[in-house]
Amino acid sequence: MHVLKQLLTKTEVAEFRQALQHVPWLDGKGSAMGMAAAVKHNAQADRDHHQVQQLANRLLAKFGHNPSLMAAALPHRIYPPCFNSYAAGGHYGWHVDAAIMRLPDQQILRSDLSITVFLSEPEDYQGGELVIQTDFGEQSVKLAAGDAVLYSSATLHQVMPVTAGQRVAAISWLQSMIPGTALRETLYQLDLSIQALAGHSGVERAELDRLHHIYHNLIRQHAQV
């Protein structure tokens, strides 16, 4: 699980929120697959609406420009973000996200990672925590507007009832070039280490090059594209 601080600035959050007031919203059940529909109680911006698609593309571009997200996820495909809203007891019970999704261009996406971008400040609503089952127990996530959390799509997770106020968020799914969590995590650690060493003046250039070489060759050996 990775927290990405300030994926969006507060100004960008305000622009998204403003724009979302002028698009059509639908019952979230319509976009839930299989058993997930029974436990989904929220609203979702109509993803067939051109303005919603523009917002999704804008957020997609922000994803692409975020080095931490790119390094942690090593994405091959990204689902156009969806915007959802929970209010008045709205919640999304325990579920797993669909393993296979179809992209607008009809290509198939295997969901390896899920991302939630918080678009409401935590003090503006009660409840609404994203609770994720991990090997280390349940993790409850409620972040500042503009922050995001990246987590395995294989987890069971839920959104707790929003008992006051409104929780607006964007969600998306990523297919990683490196499907296995353990290897992807190791590559991320290696990448972080290389970045840190690159910032030190005392590090021998040839050794840094060798580490770069190793990183890229590991991706070459394991990437599924």
Ligand X SMILES: O=C(O)CCC(=O)C(=O)O
Chain residues 111-150 in contact with ligand X, contact rule CB under 6 A: 116, 130
Q: Does 59 bind ligand X (CB under 6 A)?
A: no
49 is in an annotated binding site: no
In the complex, the smallest distance separating the C-beta of residue 173 from Fe ion, rounded to whole angstroms, is 9
Q: Does 72 bind ligand X (CB under 6 A)?
A: no
Q: Which is nearer to ligand X, 150 or 159 (CB)?
A: 159
Instruction: Quickly list DSSP for the chain.
Output: -EEETTSS-HHHHHHHHHHHTTS-EEEGGGG--TTHHHHEE-EEE-TTSHHHHHHHHHHHHHHHT-HHHHHHH-EEEEPPPEEEEEETT-EEEEE---SEEE-TTS-EEE--EEEEEE-S-GGGEEE--EEEEETTEEEEE---TT-EEEEETTS-EEE--EEEEEEEEEEEEEEESS--HHHHHHHHHHHHHHHHHHT-TTS-HHHHHHHHHHHHHHHHHH---
Interface segment toward Fe ion; rule CB under 5 A; list 15-23, 37-45, 91-99, 142-150: 91-99
Q: Does 159 bind ligand X (CB under 6 A)?
A: yes
77 binds, among ligand X, Fe ion, none (CB under 5 to 8 A by kind): none
78 binds, among Fe ion, ligand X, none (CB under 5 to 8 A by kind): none
| Contacting residue, 69, 143, 169, 178, with ligand X by CB under 6 A | 169
Q: Does 171 bind ligand X (CB under 6 A)?
A: yes
**Residue whose C-alpha is closest to residue 169's, from 142, 131, 133:** 142
Q: Does 112 bind Fe ion (CB under 5 A)?
A: no
Q: Does 92 bind ligand X (CB under 6 A)?
A: yes
Contact set with Fe ion (CB under 5 A): 97
Contact set with ligand X (CB under 6 A): 84, 92, 97, 116, 130, 157, 159, 169, 171
